Chains A and B, each alone.
Chain A
Amino acid sequence: MAHIDLPEPLPGIRGLMAFRPFTAQPLNLLAEVLLRTDEGLSKGERELIATFVSSLNDCFFCQNIHGAVAQYYAKEDETLVEKVKRDYENAPISEKMKALLSIAASVQKGGKFVTESQVEKAKNLGATDIEIHDTVLIAAAFCMFNRYVDGLATFAPTDPEMYKARAKKIAEETGYALAKPQ
């Protein structure tokens, strides 16, 4: 049971957004601008960073919904998200993405854990300033979203099909800014 009385039995962050629509608006907008663009990093790569950080934070709802969105974009490999969560260093992703995921993992531990050599490695593999910026901000933003969702003990459905269906809707129709809590 959630720690506060939510108006509707909606899963994860959606119940919280129904509780306080005023703060929901910028939260959704932040997810929209950070995740729903292919400039620099693709939508799929952005969702992968979000999923990876949520999995490090052990946030069930966030890693499953963003994992489903990331998997939606990775049509050529049905188990890509699982592989990245289990062992990204040996997953079938670019070397640049591995370097960016290592930065994301350091951000999850604490901003100060990001080292100059990690950043240099990413740059040598072709990562631009804006890609490094976006990686750090996506990782930091999911440290917020995960804490919000788990800190208030929201419930998360266990049926993977629910996440798949929602992910398809987010990817094809609503995005995050237009997504209604219902």
Chain B
Amino acid sequence: MPYISLDEHLPGITGLLEYRQDTAKPIRELTQILLRGDSTLTQGERELIATLVSSKNQCKFCTAAHTAAADLLLGESETCELVKQDYENAPISAKMKALLAIAALVQQNGKNVTFEAITRAKEAGATDMEIHDTVLIAALFCLYNKYVDGLATFTPSNPEFYEKLGERIVNLGYNRPKYGFDEIKKQNESLIQSIS
């Protein structure tokens, strides 16, 4: 049971973003810029950063949602799984490994990011903008994970829910859907009921 009264058909972050839309707006905009805006990192790479941080924060909802998005964008599900298990040995570029190492340090605390970690990323070809965005994506997902778990939001356990959510954030991005959440609530209702 969530600690505050939220729409029961909007699990995880979705209910929170509908609960207070004036705070949700800048959070959504920031996410849209960082994960879907112009960047020399692919959308799949950026979702991998979000997934790794969420997984280190043990936030089940965010980990499952961004894993689903990363899988769709990468066209396969092996890479994201291996990144969560051991990114240093995952089939990704040396630059991505160095950026994920920075993200993992940010997850612990900003002060833990070392000169060596930054140098490694730069030597692997990371630009200042890529390093900046990696740090800010990692920091933003610490916000999300703490927000979602700190208010004990509902975490569905059926994979189909996250497949649908993954499709939605890949196809529509992070802005609030123009037509609101009525359709999504109906969809969620049947998805959530189908397992209980």
Give the interface of A toward B (CB within 8 A). 3-5, 16, 19-20, 22-23, 25-27, 29-30, 33-34, 57-59, 103, 106-108, 110-112, 114, 116, 119, 129-130, 132-134, 136-137, 139-141, 143-153
Contacts and interface: CB of A to CB of B under 8 A. Distances in A.
B147 A129 contact: no
Nearest to B127: A4
Contacts of B3: 114, 116, 119, 132
Contact of B105 (A59, A107, A151): A151
Contacts of B138: 147, 151
Contacts of A58: 109, 111
A103 B4 CA distance: 13
A151 B146 contact: no
Contact of A136 (B5, B142, B147): B147
B90 interface: no
Interface centre among A132, A139, A148 (most CB of B within 10 A): A148
A114 B5 CA distance: 16
Contact of A146 (B26, B110, B113, B129): B110
A49 B102 CA distance: 27
Interface stretch (B30-38, B81-89, B178-186): B30-38
B58 interface: yes
Contacts of B118: 3
B142 A20 contact: no
A144 B142 contact: yes
Nearest to A60: B111
B106 interface: yes
B152 interface: yes
Nearest to A150: B110
B13 to A, nearest CB: 11
Contacts, number: 146
B152 A114 contact: yes
Contacts of B26: 25-27, 29-30, 33
Given A4-B132, A29-B26, A129-B5, A111 B33 contact: no
A149 B65 CA distance: 27
A34 B27 CA distance: 11
A140 B143 contact: yes
Given A136-B146, A148-B136, A59 B20 contact: no
Interface centre among A3, A34, A114, A134 (most CB of B within 10 A): A3
A144 B135 contact: no
A148 B135 contact: yes
22 contacts: A4-B131, A4-B132, A22-B37, A25-B29, A26-B26, A27-B26, A27-B30, A58-B109, A111-B147, A111-B150, A114-B152, A140-B144, A143-B142, A144-B142, A144-B143, A145-B139, A150-B113, A151-B105, A151-B106, A151-B135, A152-B110, A152-B132
Contacts of B143: 140-141, 143-144
Interface in B1-33: 3-5, 16, 19-20, 22-23, 25-27, 29-30, 33
